[in-house]
Amino acid sequence: MQTFTPQNLTTEQFAEVLHGKPSTIRTRLCKTGSFYGIRPIKLPSGRLLWNAEAVQAFLAGKGAV
């Protein structure tokens, strides 16, 4: 069973879109409470889901929605 929807990305998918590492995203989240303004949904299992629209806006240079 997949734990993400088309509207949300896992941390690994988010990192792949950024051409980076999941640890970079998690580190920034721990230090600042967000990844450049994008706040994840935290599941009871501890996994994080990132809003795909917010990620697209960030990549387009529009900042977090």
Residue by residue, pLDDT tens for the chain (65 residues) are 344 457 999 999 999 999 999 999 999 999 999 999 999 999 999 999 999 999 988 988 876 55
**CA–CA separation, 34 and 14 (whole Å):** 13
Rounded to two decimals, the pTM is: 0.83
**Backbone angles phi and psi of 25, in degrees to 5:** -65, -45
Residue 1 is predicted with a pLDDT of: 37
Residue 62 is predicted with a pLDDT of: 77
Residue 26 is predicted with a pLDDT of: 97
Edge-to-edge strands, sheet with 48-51: 8-10, 48-51, 41-42
Cα separation values, 31 from 9, 22, 24, 49, 60, Å = 21, 14, 11, 18, 24
